[in-house]
Structure 1
Amino acid sequence: MTTGTVLITGCSSGFGKLTVRTFLDEGWNVVATMRSPEKQSDLVSNERLLVNRLDVTQSETIQSTINAATDRFGTIDAVVNNAGYGGYGLFEQSSEADIRAMFETNVFGPMAVMRAVLPAMREAGRGVIVNVTSMAGHMALPGNAIYSSSKHAIVGLTEAMALEYRPLGIRIFSVAPGAYPTTRFTENTDKRVEEGDAELAAFSHRLRAQIDAVGEQMANQSGTTADPQEVADKIYRCVTTEMPVHNPTGADAEMLIAMMGQADRQTFLDQISDMLVPQHQQVQ
Structure 2
Amino acid sequence: MSTWFVTGAGRGLGLEIARAVLAGGDTVVAAVRNPHQLPDDVKQSERALAVPLDVTRADQIAQAVGAAVRRFGGMDVLVNNAGRGLLGALEETTDAEARSLFDLNVFGLIGVTRAVLPGMRAAGKGKIVNIGSRSGFEGAPGLSVYCASKFAVAGISEALAAELEPFGIQSMVVEPGVLRTDFLAPSSLSTAVRRIPSYDGTPAHALLDMIGVVNHTQAGDPVKGAALIYEVACQDKLPRHLALGRDAVEHRWATLARLLDDLAVWQERSVATVCDDIL
* TM-score range normalised by the length of the shorter chain: 0.7 to 0.9
Q: Does the alignment pair 1:257 with 2:252?
A: yes
Q: Any conservation in 2 of the 1:130–1:175 contact (CA below 8 Å)?
A: yes
What secondary structure sits across from 1:171 in the alignment? strand
Q: Does the alignment pair 1:229 with 2:223?
A: yes
Alignment of 1:119-138 (within 5 A): 119-138=118-137
Q: Any conservation in 2 of the 1:33–1:54 contact (CA below 8 Å)?
A: yes
Match of residue 8, structure 1, among 6, 9, 19? 6
Aligned length: 253
Indicate the residue corresponding to 2:36 in structure 1: 38
Task: Name the amino acid aligned to 1:79.
Answer: L
Deviation at 1:213, TM superposition (A): 10
Structure 2 residues without counterparts, runs of 5 or longer: 258-279
In structure 1, distance between residues paired with 2:101 and 2:38: 24
Deviation at 1:211, TM superposition (A): 6.8
In structure 2, distance between residues paired with 1:171 and 1:32: 21
Indicate the residue corresponding to 2:262 in structure 1: none
In structure 2, distance between residues paired with 1:205 and 1:122: 44
Deviation at 1:75, TM superposition (A): 1.3
Task: Name the amino acid aligned to 1:68.
Answer: A
In structure 1, distance between residues paired with 2:51 and 2:115: 16
**Cα distance change of structure 1 residues 116 and 227 upon mapping to structure 2, 3 Å threshold:** same
In structure 2, distance between residues paired with 1:162 and 1:191: 33
Residues 28-69 of structure 1, C-alpha deviation per residue, up to 9 Å, x if partnerless? 111001111123343351111100101110011111111111
Residues 88-141 of structure 1, C-alpha deviation per residue, up to 9 Å, x if partnerless? 111122111110000000000000011011111111110011000000000001
Q: Does the alignment pair 1:243 with 2:238?
A: yes
Residues 173-213 of structure 1, C-alpha deviation per residue, up to 9 Å, x if partnerless? 11110011116245487863x72443245647842267759
Q: Following TM superposition, where does structure 1 have runs of at least 4 consecutive aligned residues deviating by more than 6 angstroms?
A: 213-216
In structure 1, distance between residues paired with 2:28 and 2:12: 16
Indicate the residue corresponding to 1:268 in structure 2: none
What is the percent sequence identity of the aligned residues?
35
Q: Any conservation in 1 of the 2:170–2:238 contact (CA below 8 Å)?
A: no
Structure 1 residues without counterparts, runs of 5 or longer: 220-224, 263-284
TM-score by length of 1: 0.81
In structure 2, distance between residues paired with 1:201 and 1:28: 49
